[in-house]
Amino acid sequence: MTGTATVSDFYCHQALAGAVPIERVKETERVLAFHHTNPSYPVHIVVIPKEHVPSLTDLGNSGEDLLHEVVAVVREVAAGVEKEYGSCSVKTNLGMYQESKHQHWHVLYRGESEAQIRDMYGNHD
């Protein structure tokens, strides 16, 4: 970031601090998964480390062991969404795309029907 812009960290300042109510999906000692507080999709779950980690490419003072724990929770939550809805998207953002400067992963079911998904992505053999 450049200039005098302040760093936004919704997850440390709001979610983890208890300033906003959250609906937990999965929690470990070091990782939290919860339903997004302002969802953009029918299923929109966020997975975060409980300590501040700036991003996927900047692990700050944490090691890769925490990243592995976060990804393990992402996989578990995504498997549950895929099993229940038949499809799932997982994404994270970096740089200017990353609005909150705390590593976070979105686990989504966007709500398309199977026919809509097949129209977009085709039928793969």
3 in any annotated domain? no
Quote the CA–CA distance of 74 and 57 in Å, as a whole number.
17
Give the number of other CB atoms < 10 A from CB of residue 111: 11
CATH (domain of 77): 3.30.428.10
Q: Is residue 92 part of a domain?
A: yes
Does residue 31 lie within any of the structural domains? yes
27 located within any domain: yes
If DSSP codes are grouped into helix, strand and coil, which group holds residue 76?
helix
Tens-digit pLDDT profile for residues 55-110: 999 999 999 999 999 999 999 999 999 999 999 999 999 988 888 899 999 999 99
**Tokens standing for residue 98:** 């990353």
Give me the domain span that covers residue 98: 10-121
> How many residues are there in the chain?
125
Question: What is the reported pTM?
Answer: 0.85
Asked if the structure places residue 16 within a domain, the reply is: yes
Total domains, the chain: 1
Question: What span, in angstroms and rounded, lies between the C-alpha atoms of 5 and 113?
Answer: 41
Tell me which residue of 14, 123, 36 sits closest to 81, measured CA to CA: 36
